[in-house]
Amino acid sequence: MALDHPATTPAQKPVAVPANPRFSSGPCAKPPVFSLDKLSDAALGRSHRAAVGKAKLKAAIEETRAILGVPAEYRIGIVPASDTGAVEMAMWSLLGARPCTMIAWESFGAGWVTDAVKQLKLDATVMTAEYGRIVDLATVDFDTDVVFTWNGTTSGVRVPNGDAIPADRAGLTICDATSAAFAQDLPWDKLDVTTFSWQKVMGGEAAHGMLILSPRAVERLESYTPAWPMPKIFRLTKGGKLIEGIFVGETINTPSMLAVEDYLVALDWGKSIGGLPALMARADANAQAIFEFCDARDWIANLAEDPATRSNTSVCLKFTDPRIADGAGFAKAVAKRLEAEGVALDIGAYRDAPAGLRIWCGATVETADIEAMLPWLDWAFHTEIAAQADAA
Ligand SMILES: Cc1ncc(COP(=O)(O)O)c(C=O)c1O
């Protein structure tokens, strides 16, 4: 009997395995040079306000500035509650002064929309795109305050560049760049607030967020007082003036000095391999290996429809084989097989995203590990197709 789709037999199990099977999108793989003894210089048991603690916090800020090329006149602060803390702090402190536009094309951006509309009760213009697509920034009114995510971690869709953001905008741009920073070029002149967490591209620990403010964002902070109460951990001003200490390492509350040390180790590694260009090149090479794998197969595709918007960090894939009856079940089964073999950990799609896989390709991941893992994906796919046929 002729089949609509040619049958495939299970591919042979590969022999080579990735040296590091950690492809989680956060917390992400530690830098390749990482070992716990690298943290032995941590200022443990010391006050973060003592000279030694303060110096480390200040170094984390200044090394971040050096690697990311953040302009000298921009403030960089270490704030509580990881990227979420940094984004919420910016939204609560800055929004409400003028009309605002909330943009989302995946789960985290959608969370910020909910906060602006339901919690802050702002009459925001909401612009959304389905998973795999992006809102065209050329259609956005940048005379409003605009909140958006640079790299949608749960859809694998990224802003290709900042060209559509006008230099002479009247509003502020508030950008959640947590899965973009250190892997993608961020145009600082187009971003008034940029946030990220240590746990993503640099493979640091979560807990602390980074908040980068342009002079225009500082001007807003000093000229506008929101109508709502401000919890202590969101407070960036005192008596109408910016609390400058936050931006030289005097954190609002107690940081983990172990996490700080770990971030310093990661930054040091980033610097040692050549800084931002090298970090971006590593993510590009990792993602490219997966793009090529997909291009050569008719059963798997990038969730990002437009190649210009394909993420080089959180690469999201969907299975396109018409023989697959239950998309979510199939993707879960493939991820489970790979995990059971110890060749790819934590690569199931995000819980709110379309069924599929999400493979982290940030700078701490070795291209050799991606290349060693991909034949296993071939094997797991064919094995699962065969299992499905057997069960039918
Ligand atoms: C785009 C984006 N925003 C925010 C978050 C939340 O980050 P955190 O858990 O570090 O606060 C994540 C986490 O994956 C993310 O991908």
Q: For residue range 40-50, list pLDDT tens digits in order.
A: 999 999 999 99
Length of the chain, please? 392
Q: Which of 24, 134, 157, 179 to mutate to test the pocket of ligand 1 (most atoms within 8 A of CB)?
A: 179
Q: Residue of the nearest CA to atom 14 in ligand 1?
A: 26
Look at residue 146 and tell me whether its pLDDT is greater than 90.
yes
Question: How far is 144 from 266, CA to CA, in rounded Å?
Answer: 36
Question: How far is 359 from 25, CA to CA, in rounded Å?
Answer: 7
φ/ψ (deg, to 5) at 267? -65, -40
**Which of the pair, 47 or 2, is modelled with greater confidence?**
47
Query: Ligand 1 centre and the CA of 333: distance in Å?
Result: 26
Look at residue 9 and tell me whether its pLDDT is greater than 70.
no
Question: How far is 91 from 114, CA to CA, in rounded Å?
Answer: 12
Look at residue 366 and tell me whether its pLDDT is greater than 70.
yes
Task: Give residue for tokens 């990227």.
Answer: 83
- pLDDT band (50, 70, 90) for residue 392: confident
Outline where DSSP puts E strands in 231-292. Answer: 237-238, 241-242
Q: Residue of the nearest CA to atom 2 in ligand 1?
A: 108
Nearest atom in ligand 1 to the alpha carbon of residue 149 is 1
Nearest atom in ligand 1 to the alpha carbon of residue 86 is 11
C-alpha torsion sign, points 112, 115, 120, 121: positive
Q: Is the CB of 206 under 6 A from ligand 1?
A: yes
Query: Ligand 1 centre and the CA of 21: distance in Å?
Result: 22
Residue 156 CB neighbours (<10 A) = 34
Look at residue 311 and tell me whether its pLDDT is greater than 50.
yes
Residues 15-24: tens digit of each pLDDT? 999 999 999 9
Query: Ligand 1 centre and the CA of 269: distance in Å?
Result: 23
Q: Residue of the nearest CA to atom 8 in ligand 1?
A: 83
Q: Is the CB of 178 under 6 A from ligand 1?
A: yes
Q: What is the b/e burial string over 337-358, where b = at least 16 CB atoms within 10 angstroms of the residue's CB?
A: bbbebebbebbbbbeebbbbbb
Q: Which of 218, 262, 243, 240 is nearest to 79 (CA)?
A: 243
Task: Give residue for tokens 């003028």.
Answer: 98
Question: How far is 184 from 186, CA to CA, in rounded Å?
Answer: 6
Residues 192-244: tens digit of each pLDDT? 999 999 999 999 999 899 999 999 999 999 999 999 999 999 999 999 999 99
Q: What is the b/e burial string over 260-279, where b = at least 16 CB atoms within 10 angstroms of the residue's CB?
A: bbbbbbbbebbeeeebbeeb
- What's the pTM value of the predicted model, to 2 decimals? 0.97
Nearest atom in ligand 1 to the alpha carbon of residue 314 is 16
Q: Is the CB of 198 under 6 A from ligand 1?
A: no
pLDDT of res. 8: 53
φ/ψ (deg, to 5) at 38? -65, -15
Element (H, E) at 269: helix 257-272
